[in-house]
Amino acid sequence: METKRIITLMKIVSWILFIGLCIKLGALLISGGISLLINPEATENLYLNIDLSNLYESSVKYYTFVLSLIISVTALKAYLFYLVIKIFSIIDFDKPFTKAVARLISSISYVSLWTGLLAYIANHYCKWLQKKGFIFELDWGSSEFLFMAGIIFIIAFIFKRGVEIQSENQLTV
């Protein structure tokens, strides 16, 4: 009974995080579009006090690239939670080791890896811009995603082995 409550809570939290990231992504897309096409003053507060106005004033090219990186990392984070929600919708806890769930867990590890790599590239790009004199601070969290990708990859490998063992047991019964 306690396990079902925890799983229900995890589903709810996953949905909340997914919706929150989708809202953040939409806000970034809209405010980024407005800042590029309509009103450059929108660069001062893109989303939750992200201020890239000095970057925009110096180089629209640099601004557009940093904005694209922010949007891409946010989209990948939202996609991660979409995959988690998908796992909750297809998993059968009586027989959890299925090929579909194993594929989704593998997909989560790969998306985590790509998110971490993109955040790592973005972090170093921003450090390079800061050396050029641009003043802004963004937390990309690249190491966390790379660490998470490694852990989930191991879990995916164990899950695939569980699928093999479960199918062998069904054949021997």
Are the C-beta atoms of residues 85 and 14 closer than 8 Å to each other? yes
Per-residue pLDDT of the chain (173 residues; tens, 9 = 90+): 688 888 889 999 999 999 999 999 999 999 999 989 998 888 888 877 788 888 898 889 999 999 999 999 999 999 999 999 999 999 887 777 889 999 999 999 999 999 999 999 999 999 999 998 888 778 888 889 899 999 999 999 998 888 888 887 776 64
For the chain, which residues make up each domain, given as ranges? 2-172
Residues 6+ apart with CB under 8 A from 27: 47
Residues 6+ apart with CB under 8 A from 35: 41, 42, 43, 46, 56, 67
List, for residues 140-160, the tens digit of each pLDDT value.
888 898 999 999 999 999 988
Separation CA 1–CA 9 (nearest Å): 13
Handedness of CA 88, 90, 91, 97 (dihedral sign): negative
Tell me the two tokens of residue 152.
């989930």
Exposure b/e, 34-58, CB count within 10 A at least 16 = b: ebbeeeeebbeebbeebebbebbee
DSSP letters along 63-106, please?
HHHHHHHHHHHHHHHHHHHHHHHHHHHH--TTS---HHHHHHHH
Separation CA 45–CA 47 (nearest Å): 6
Q: Is the pTM of this model over 0.85?
A: yes
